[in-house]
Amino acid sequence: EIVLTQSPGTLSLSPGERATLSCRASQSVSSTYLAWYQQKPGRAPRLLIYGASSRATGIPDRFSGSGSGTDFTLTISRLEPEDFAVYYCQQCATSPLTFGGGTKVEIK
Amino acid sequence: QVQLVQSGAEVKKPGASVKVSCKASGYTFTRYYIHWVRQVPGQGLEWMSIINPSGGSPSFAQKFQGRVTMTRDTSTSTVYMELSSLKSDDTAMYYCARLQETWLAFDYWGQGTLVTVSS
């Protein structure tokens, strides 16, 4: 099973600041199979990034993804009030599909 | 528009079974695999299972083997997930999600079904 470790667990930032979220895999994952999701309280997750770096439909360009192998990053260039949420990385390269433990981006 | 609409919240006793439905609309039902993901309150996301609406055998995470049954009804574009021998730590929000075949990611999610297991 591929374990995804996200860091930090919580990121305290102000609107307008840059957020950098990390996702590290226990073994190499093809970037094709790495996605990022945003989840707000009481809501289902929403797909942000697929293929490690491609934005899903309707996702603002302040969200970007990068990385390869075992290290992946989600960057939010300038935080908007609606971006404060929990973010998960996920791999579907091998079964079982796995998610990272999440990074909470909270208002400082 | 694409929608996945799940059945309503359930309260079950330990040892019972629960069956959650996920009704798809707005796209060709048989073209996309449906997955189930659960989330214990306050915790992260956990993948459970996958079913091909066109047919074939479902696949499950090992921890759910023997307890999860997946079925589908193509006439109503609905997928069902039944979890048996419920325990208190099965209390969670259960989501169905569509796997976008080109993106290899979950592009649409159901609204979630809260299953509470309590004596």
With contact defined as beta carbons under 8 Å apart, do B35 and B105 qualify?
A: no
The confidence score (pLDDT) of residue B28 equals 95
Query: For position B55, what pLDDT does the model report?
Result: 86
Q: What is the pLDDT of residue B103?
A: 86
Q: Cβ contact (<8 Å) for B105 and A46? A: no
pLDDT score for B56: 82
Distance CA A105, CA A10 (A): 6
Q: Which residues of A touch B (CB under 8 A)?
A: 32-33, 35, 37, 39, 44-47, 50-51, 54, 56-57, 88, 90, 92, 95-102
Sequence-separated (6 or more) residues with CB below 8 Å from residue B5: B22, B23, B25, B110, B111
Alpha-carbon torsion, ordered A103, B22, B80, B100, to 10 deg: -60
What tens digit of pLDDT does each residue of B19-64 get?
999 999 999 999 999 999 999 999 999 999 999 998 888 889 999 9
What φ, ψ does residue B46 adopt, rounded to 5°?
-130, 120
Task: Write out pLDDT tens, residues A22-55.
Answer: 999 999 999 999 999 999 999 999 999 999 999 9
Closest chain B CA to residue A44 = B111
Instruction: Give yes or no for residue A64 having a pLDDT over 90.
Output: yes
The Cα B38–Cα B32 span in angstroms is 19
Which amino acid is located at B101 in the chain? E
Pairwise CB contact (< 8 Å): B110 & A44: yes
On chain B, the residues whose CB falls within 8 A of the CB of A99 are 37, 44-47
**Predicted confidence (pLDDT) per residue in B65-102, tens digit:** 899 999 999 999 999 999 999 999 999 999 999 999 88
Q: What is the pLDDT of residues A73-104, one digit of tens each?
A: 999 999 999 999 999 999 999 999 999 999 99
Chain A nearest CA to B7, separation (Å): 15
